A and B are shown apart, each in its own frame.
Chain A
Amino acid sequence: MGPVRLGIAPKSRDPAWVRWGLTSIALVALAILVIVPVVSVFVEAFANGLGAYWNNLVGDPDTRAAMLLTVVVAPAAVISNLIFGVAAAWAIARFRFPGRTLLITAIDLPFSISPVVVGLMFVLLFGLQGFFGPTLRANGFQVLFTVPGLILATTFVTLPFVARELIPVMEAIGPDEELAALSLGASGRQMFWKITVPNIKWGLLYGVILCNARAMGEFGAVYVVGGRVAGETNTMPLQVEMLFAGFDTPAAFAVASVLTLLAVVSLILKTVVEDKKREEPSSLKKT
């Protein structure tokens, strides 16, 4: 055995061929799985030139309607889950009560249910033979195949994002500053807006970005609930499917390229916010 080398960081201990070998395999796999697909979306979308691309996007009224609908449905679901996330995180991170662990698990539940099953559950509730369907219809309300139905299904699927993100952030910050504000005579509302919100803002934004990305891309649940009426209940992902099924592949890729661009922007924003979030707790500790 050679001389024992002390104080050498383990990362440099693997010989070069192991490091290079493993790194190459990992990067080639990432390239094939992630980079090639993303690049090919844009290449396919622009295959017939910029004019054809533009025409595919704005020339078709159904595609225009799909884009508008996504811009309505996703923010509605995000705002709803944002309010829920703040309330849930406040209750869970600031108080101890029986059933708290169970509540955390219940919040995670929508992540593990197949979106298709989510859609089916709403059909069972609001369909013609459903639990509430006939009563609602008699009073002039319809949920299935309407925009509120799409919002409902999207909200279900994206429910955990903000809450999951905020609970650890609030736990880590702790209640000290809030208690100080209260003891100095701040009202509950003042404390919330002047102490809590500024403290959790990056965590909040992070949760919103993830929630929004998922909401815009939701497919299975809205597929079932929306009934895919072109121009009416087709969000962008559903429009992609409809164009693809109708063999209009260039148009499908054009719409897909917009969704991909949104995903890439979400990813960049997320990375930026992640850095900000990481800076935050350390700056708190210093003061």
Chain B
Amino acid sequence: MAQVNRRVMPGFRLSLGFTLVYLAVLVGVPLVACAVTAGQLPPEQFREAALSPRAQNAYVLTFTTALAAAVISAILGTLIAWVLVRYDFPLKRFFDAIVDLPFALPTAVAGLVFSNLYVPNGWLGQFLVPLGIELAYSRGAIVLVMVFIGFPFVVRTLQPVLESLDAESEEAAHLLGAGRWQTFWRVILPAILPSILTGFVLAFARALGEYGSVVFVSSNIPNKTEIAAVLVVNRLEEFKYVEATAVAVVLLFSSFVMLGLVNLLERWSRRWDR
């Protein structure tokens, strides 16, 4: 339908040419510069820089906190999307709108606030710290801000899918004698699982590269609470460009893997569309 003869519709060369040049200059050149810089290093030196004990600790911390945050985001996001689509309650539009706030709020503000809420005399810390839950400047705080920036991805990918579920298959399951749990596990969940996974991967990918909010809430101690993105900046500030680039290449590689995964998942979730 949208396919139009290039001789009839104007602007093909101009728009495509501009798009390609813009992308090549703004995205292509920096990526190539990064790849060339990393490629110029002798392999042993690169390996040493990318896999130093400090870097390894940062990867493990980044991976585990991002994974924990993505799992929490997936569960919480599914619950919020479910409630927003299926139930009616007062101020529903308001609650629906504020799900997007983490997208709009600068990460530095999120970091500032979360670093302040959970200290012993903070709004939430005053209740949690006496219970032995000390989130401030810990790994728990890193997970918390990652959930904050991650859960909207799950809600927003899942919401349209939940809305488009046809009531008929649920009615059919019900008529055939399935209980509510059975209907959920056997009928609803298989239909929404690809979207939950897509949201999960988006939240995970975003958390892997997050810097702005984490740098506020974490104590950023090397080998303990220093995530990979913070390590890149710290190395840069020490003028250790080789180490910074090596860690950045690892981060870059992981984001490419995530992007591929999201594309695969989206194809899977559309498998019954035709």
Contacts and interface: CB of A to CB of B under 8 A. Distances in A.
Interface of A: 1, 4, 9-11, 13-14, 19, 22-23, 25-27, 29-30, 32-38, 40-41, 44, 83-84, 87-88, 90-97, 103, 105-110, 112-125, 127, 129-131, 152, 155-156, 159, 170-171, 174-175, 178-179, 182, 188, 191-192, 210, 213-214, 216-220, 223-224, 236-238, 240-241, 244, 249, 252-253, 256, 259-260, 263-264, 266-268, 270-271
B4 A95 contact: yes
Interface stretch (B47-55, B95-103, B189-197): B95-103
B98 A35 contact: yes
A10 B167 contact: yes
B113 A41 contact: yes
B211 A223 contact: yes
Nearest to A191: B10
30 contacts: A13-B180, A22-B79, A23-B83, A27-B89, A35-B98, A36-B124, A37-B110, A37-B113, A38-B113, A84-B18, A87-B14, A90-B15, A91-B15, A95-B3, A114-B208, A116-B233, A117-B229, A117-B248, A120-B236, A120-B248, A124-B34, A191-B10, A217-B104, A217-B106, A237-B106, A241-B108, A244-B216, A263-B105, A263-B109, A267-B100
Contacts of B98: 30, 34-35, 267
B106 A87 contact: no
A116 B108 CA distance: 14
Given A91-B19, A114-B229, A117-B209, A159 B103 contact: no
Given A10-B170, A34-B102, A95-B3, A120 B244 contact: yes
Contacts of B108: 217, 219, 237-238, 240-241, 256, 259
A159 B236 CA distance: 25
Contacts of B23: 103, 106-107
Nearest to A173: B2
Interface string B110-121: 101111110000
Contacts of B112: 41, 240, 244, 252-253, 256
B160 interface: no
Q: Name the prevailing secondary structure of the B interface residues.
A: helix
A268 B151 CA distance: 20
A84 B26 CA distance: 11
A29 B211 contact: no
B259 A37 contact: no
A217 B109 contact: yes
Q: 10 nearest interchain CB pairs?
A: A114-B209, A217-B106, A219-B212, A188-B10, A121-B30, A220-B211, A237-B108, A263-B104, A91-B15, A91-B16
B11 A122 contact: no
B175 A4 contact: yes
B210 interface: yes
Contacts of A87: 14-15, 18-19, 22
Chain B, interface size category, equals 35 or more
Contacts of B89: 23, 27
Given A33-B147, A116-B233, A237 B109 contact: yes
A23 to B, nearest CB: 5
